[in-house]
A and B are shown apart, each in its own frame.
Chain A
Amino acid sequence: SQQGEEDPQALSIQEGENATMNCSYKTSINNLQWYRQNSGRGLVHLILIRSNEREKHSGRLRVTLDTSKKSSSLLITASRAADTASYFCATDAGLLRNKLVFGAGTILRVKS
């Protein structure tokens, strides 16, 4: 079952612009994670935000979490061509610790 739904499905921006991706989920969670996948490769963990946190930063990444709306957003500031990839949110559900459920992903293309 797909827990997370990312929006938009695809995003194309110019280098230097900010990119925002959104994720909605259905059930209560312990934490929400964002991953990046370059074409044909495995996923790389970017950031984890716990259910009692509202915002978290890591380098050029900013993640927000609104548990009342069951949604999260990932902001990549000052994007670079190397940020071109698919980005997935994944939720670690309340009763199923350490069992991530992934959304369908957002394809980000950063044009140089």
Chain B
Amino acid sequence: DGGITQSPKYLFRKEGQNVTLSCEQNLNHDAMYWYRQDPGQGLRLIYYSQIVNDFQKGDIAEGYSVSREKKESFPLTVTSAQKNPTAFYLCASIRRQEGDYGYTFGSGTRLTVV
């Protein structure tokens, strides 16, 4: 079955440590996105990529970095510069063609600073 796989499901980060969240899709979708969700709040866009080897900052990109070397993969690195990284991180993808398509989301990674 096609879908988006995020790993790990839970991640613990020590102060000053960089961590990388994985997002892989086998839907042949062009565009991929990373969102952050804090408790009781909506999703805020971190980074997005419309095509391989290209990506753009979202609303809260500071302290995060991404790469898009393959169409299927869009990993997110949470760097030590991100002062409050504890949150639920969601990856999504979408076809670029016109149509009534919504985003497909992964099941998320919950990151906690210890």
Contacts and interface: CB of A to CB of B under 8 A. Distances in A.
B104 interface: yes
Contacts of A43: 43, 90, 92, 103, 105
Interface stretch (B12-20, B68-76, B78-86, B93-101): B93-101
A98 B102 contact: no
Interface residues of B, number: 30
Interface residues of A, number: 25
Secondary structure class of chain A's binding surface, majority of residues: strand
A98 B96 CA distance: 8
A105 B104 contact: no
Interchain residue pairs A-B with the least CB separation, the first 10: A45-B102, A42-B105, A102-B42, A102-B43, A104-B42, A43-B105, A42-B107, A48-B100, A103-B42, A33-B102
